[in-house]
Chains A and B, each alone.
Chain A
Amino acid sequence: MTLIGDWQAALATEQQAGFGYDLLGARLHGTPELSLAVVCSNAHDALIGSVTEQLATAGQTPHPTAADYPSLYPVDNASAARALAIRLETECAAAWRYLYENAASTTGAQAITLRAQAQAALTASAVRATRWRLAAATKPLTTAFPGL
C-alpha cells in the first residue's frame, strides 16, 4: 500500500473511533467516565477533520465515513463501553504505527510530515487507551510497544 493508502486507512480507523465513541457514550451517562469519553471523542473528531482537510489539500479524496460499523456492537452497558473504548484506541494506535513504519521507510517531505503526525496520533491513542484501562481497572494498564 502507498503512503496515501496508509494515511487513508488511518483516517478510516479514526472515523470508526469517532462513531464508536458516539455509541459508547450513550452507555456512560451517570458514570465518571462520561467526561473522558467526551474528551476522547473530541480529540478523534479534531484529528478526522484535520486529516480530511490535509488529504483534500494533497489532491486526494478522503476516505468516506461509513453509515454504520456493525463490528462495534453490542455495547450493552458501561463495562462494554469501557472495553470498546480500549479497543478503539488500540486499533487507532495500530493504524498510526503502521503509517509511521511505512513513512519511516520512505524519503521525501511528505513522509517526514506524516511521520510527525503518526507519532503524535500513536502517542495520543496509547495514552487514551491507558486512561481507559485505568477506568476499567484492566491489567496490565499499559503495553510496552503500543501499536505493535
Chain B
Amino acid sequence: MTDENTASPQRVGPSRRTFLIGSGVAVAVGAGGGIAAGALRAGPHRSTPSEPPPVLVAALASELALIASIKASTGGGAAVQAKLAEVARNHLTHATVLQALIDDTVTEPTPSHASGSPSQPPSAPPLTLARLAAAERRASATAARRAAALSGRDATLLASIAACEATHVALLS
C-alpha cells in the first residue's frame, strides 16, 4: 500500500477541509456531497504545497464549464428542465467538493477559494440536449482518465464523478 499523504507531517490544528466541512459546506451541497465530504474528512491530513494539484484544478474547471453549458440551455419542457436542474445540481456538488479538496492543498486560500465555494461558472453558449449528452459523455471519459492518474480517495472521488456523468448521458439521451 502506498499513500502519498502518510509521509508528510501532520498539521497542527484542524485542516481547511475539516473547517469547510465543519462550517456547513457538506450540508450546503446536499446529501451526495455530504457523504463524499464525510469520506474525505476521515482521511489523513495532507501536506500543504503552495500549488493545488493540476488534475483536481482541471476537474473543477470541467465541472464549472458543464454548469455553464446547462445554465445557458434554457429550452425544452418542464420535464427536460427538471432533468437539467438535477444534472446541474450534481455538477455543483462535484465542484464544491473538488474546491474543498483544492483549498485543502494550498497554504493560503486565494480570494476565490476563501469561501469554500467553487468559482463562478464561465459563460457558455446554449447547447441542444444531444450536445449536452455528448458533453457529459466526454466529461465522464475524461474524469475516468483523471482518476487513473491519481491515487487514494482523490482517485475514487473522480471515479465516482465519472460514473455520475455517465448517468447524465442516460438521463439526457
Question: Chain A: residues with CB nearer than 8 A to chain B?
Answer: 93, 97, 100-101, 104-107, 115-116, 118-119, 122-123, 126-127, 129-131, 134, 140-148
Contacts and interface: CB of A to CB of B under 8 A. Distances in A.
Max chain B CB contacts within 10 Å: which of A129, A131, A142?
A: A142
B93 A144 contact: yes
B159 A122 contact: yes
Interface string B150-173: 111101110111111011111100
B32 A144 contact: yes
B170 A131 contact: yes
B58 interface: no
B interface SS class = helix
A129 B33 CA distance: 19
Nearest to A140: B86
Interface in B125-142: 140
B2 A119 contact: no
Given A115-B147, A123-B144, A148-B160, 13 more contacts: A100-B156, A104-B147, A119-B148, A119-B159, A122-B160, A123-B166, A126-B163, A141-B86, A141-B171, A142-B87, A143-B167, A144-B89, A146-B163
A146 B147 contact: no
Interface of B: 1-3, 29-30, 32-33, 35-36, 39, 83, 86-87, 89-90, 93-94, 140, 144, 147-148, 150-153, 155-157, 159-164, 166-171
Main secondary structure of the interface of A (DSSP, over half): helix
B166 A127 contact: yes
Contacts, number: 110
Given A119-B159, A142-B87, A101 B167 contact: no
A126 B143 CA distance: 15
B170 A123 contact: no
B64 to A, nearest CB: 15
B140 A145 contact: no
Contacts of B87: 142
Contacts of A145: 32-33, 35-36, 93, 157, 160-161, 164
A79 B162 CA distance: 29
9 contacts: A93-B163, A101-B155, A105-B3, A119-B163, A123-B144, A130-B167, A142-B168, A148-B35, A148-B160
